[in-house]
Structure 1
């Protein structure tokens, strides 16, 4: 008599049924998210609010975006210009904005980093997660055509080969040109750090200051309207002199 394997017997007795869709109000098993290249990077921030982080480079500098448009690195632990807002603009693509400078990190066609007052396509960076929690940020629209040796592949592959340009801060705290960077360089690896207590205090003071300015501006405009109405009423009450 043939012996039927136990697993086969169990599968015959209890066949697997298709998984039903989740009903409203029930918890569902989360789907595994992958990055744009399908390499398994997790981007839980997609569709959510901007992440406030400090980008700590492996060269021990925090990326800074100054109000005057300068980009560099700082060794200070608590520096207002190193607090960033990272927002997803597409799958695996983010925009990085300095919270206190109000400017966006951008890379031009010459590979130079600069701070843009308005968001444009040069402000889009491809975010990749690497080992030990470090990330790289490559320009989405600027790269170097990488020539391949003859016979190294099809003509289509040779035409599409590109080398990415990465955000990079060297050992002196200065940004490197994009075409000189590699994803494996220490200067191109950034650790997104959560804000500390002192950072949250600076953010709170900034929010209070902006709220006070808005309140003052609103009250000023309301006072101007009140004075204009008062002058108009006085003008209507006057009688022409003989």
Structure 2
């Protein structure tokens, strides 16, 4: 059956224009089930609509805090800040795991930034729920990263030390981070790391080697024929 929308009220007056717009763009609420999974909706839409980085390759960035420290994730599990401009432990991979939710991984440490139940930042060897952070964009290009479980913020104080999550606010200077694009030195460090992880490359064998083995086989074959003829005589 065709669905018709009345444009006049019972009194015969026209409905406001915004009412029609609302009806046109209104969608029924999503019921529970696989179709409502944000990851399914994201995949079905290709690259997630207005979220340009959603579902794509990880963004490689350095998170520069407004306190002038770069966030660092150490192989030992420690998290802190560094004043050094180009340090390998400051290079991060930021990957979208849901709409507005990201995972932050240190490329060189191989560990994920995480926040535990007590609000302490640490570097986790494996990805878990404590590694999920809500990424929000604020004024002047700064971002905040809040724990998806508790809404406590990643924060580095004026001494380069992480602050406990329950002591942080989104407006704190220590909670504001500027995602910096990697420089030439950073890219070179990443390329060197990737080469080391891939190991020595094994190129194709040189044709001369195959030819050498073939020549040796021919000589042995000829020698065998000669010995066979001598035995016959």
TM-score range, shorter chain: 0.5 to 0.7
The match for 1:46 among 48, 54, 70 is 54
For residue 84 of structure 1, what is the aligned residue in structure 2? 92
Q: Summarize the Cα distance change of 1:73–1:96 in structure 2 as closer, same or farther, 3 Å threshold.
A: same
The match for 1:97 among 87, 90, 105 is 105
TM-score (norm 2): 0.65
| Structure 1 residue 212: Cα displacement | 1.0
For residue 70 of structure 2, what is the aligned residue in structure 1? 62
1:190 matched to 2:198: no
| Structure 1 residue 124: Cα displacement | 0.1
| Structure 1 residue 44: Cα displacement | 1.4
Q: Summarize the Cα distance change of 1:208–1:44 in structure 2 as closer, same or farther, 3 Å threshold.
A: same
* SS in structure 1 at match of 2:199: helix
For residue 202 of structure 1, what is the aligned residue in structure 2? 189
1:108 matched to 2:95: no
For residue 199 of structure 2, what is the aligned residue in structure 1? 212
1:109 and 1:173 map into 2 onto residues whose CA distance is 22
For residue 23 of structure 1, what is the aligned residue in structure 2? none
For residue 164 of structure 2, what is the aligned residue in structure 1? 177
Give the conservation status (yes or no) of the 8 Å contact 2:111–2:125: yes
For residue 71 of structure 1, what is the aligned residue in structure 2? 79
TM-score (norm 1): 0.62
Superimposed CA distance per residue, residues 150-182 of structure 1 (whole angstroms, 9 cap, x where no aligned partner): xxxxxxxxxxxxxx3100000000000000000
2:99 and 2:188 map into 1 onto residues whose CA distance is 32
Structure 1 gaps of 5+ residues are 1-29, 34-42, 143-163, 217-242
Q: Which has the greater radius of gyration?
A: 2
Q: Summarize the Cα distance change of 1:202–1:187 in structure 2 as closer, same or farther, 3 Å threshold.
A: same
The count of residues paired between Structure 1 and Structure 2 equals: 157
Structure 2 gaps of 5+ residues are 1-46, 203-233
For residue 128 of structure 1, what is the aligned residue in structure 2? 136
Give the conservation status (yes or no) of the 8 Å contact 2:48–2:55: no
| Structure 1 residue 32: Cα displacement | 7.0
2:67 and 2:52 map into 1 onto residues whose CA distance is 27
| Structure 1 residue 31: Cα displacement | 9.7
Q: Which runs of 4+ in 1 moved over 6 A?
A: none
| Structure 1 residue 130: Cα displacement | 0.3
RMSD over aligned CA atoms reads: 1.9
Q: Summarize the Cα distance change of 1:139–1:212 in structure 2 as closer, same or farther, 3 Å threshold.
A: same
| Structure 1 residue 47: Cα displacement | 1.0
1:84 and 1:115 map into 2 onto residues whose CA distance is 12
* SS in structure 1 at match of 2:67: coil
2:106 and 2:49 map into 1 onto residues whose CA distance is 30
Give the conservation status (yes or no) of the 8 Å contact 2:137–2:144: yes
